[in-house]
Amino acid sequence: MSIYRHEHKVSKAQRIQLLGQKPLIIWLTGLSGSGKSTLAGLLEEKLFAAGIKTYLLDGDNVRFGLNKDLGFSEGDRKENMRRIAEVAKLMVDAGLVVITAFISPFKIERELVRRLVEQDEFIEVFVDTPLEICEQRDPKGLYQKVRAGELQHFTGIDSPYEEPVNPEILCKTENRSPEECVIQMLDFLLPRIQSV
């Protein structure tokens, strides 16, 4: 193999100093309909308003470009996560705060992302919403399709979701507004991001 790592003269530490923030991956995980995308969008708005340099990677959006060649088989879903993890790692290396909103149902995949960056650069946010609430919301009509037999291998129904055991942030959305959840996240995140 003729691939060699090329060392650049501008370091991650220099980019962090220039941007004046600690880079992070803020990884929102939860069932479809749990509110991940809503929370990620609101969080990005608040961080951006606070002068934080951010980028939001959303599950559906990356499938229009970076991952448009992938389906929803187990292998494709793993590759989807692998690619997103590598992109998020590059963004952290650039000094950004990366917010992601992906079901990411398997603990091993989330741990893979955690291992790609420094220990304190990965923040797991479990958007904890009961399945019955997600089904009631059903913003994309996916649960309805699953129950009608039109979709298979759907997380939470006929494909497992492994809940995070010790997430850095636990957002219970059943009885809390998105705004309340984002305030909870900001209270945890801002001191860390601004600690540079």
Convert the pLDDT of each residue in 32-73 to its tens digit: 999 999 999 999 999 999 999 999 998 777 777 777 888 777
Mean pLDDT of 149-158: 81
32, 34, 37, 104: which is the annotated catalytic residue? 104
Min mean pLDDT across 61-70, 105-114, 120-129 is at 61-70
Dist. CA 91–CA 76, nearest whole Å = 23
* Rounded-to-integer distance, Cα 191 and Cα 17, Å: 16
Write the single-letter amino acid at 124.
E
Q: Is 104 assigned a catalytic role?
A: yes
Question: What CA–CA distance (Å, rounded) separates 179 from 177?
Answer: 5
Q: How far apart are CA 34 and CA 135, in angstroms?
A: 9
pTM: 0.90
Q: Closest Cα to residue 91, out of 57, 40, 42?
A: 57
Interhelix angle 74-93/107-116, rounded to 10 degrees, is 20
Q: Which residues make Cβ contacts (< 8 Å) with residue 70, sequence separation at least 6?
A: 63, 76, 77, 79, 80
Cα-only R_g, the chain: 17
Taking the CB of residue 21, how many other CB atoms lie within 10 A of it? 22
The pLDDT value given to residue 65: 76
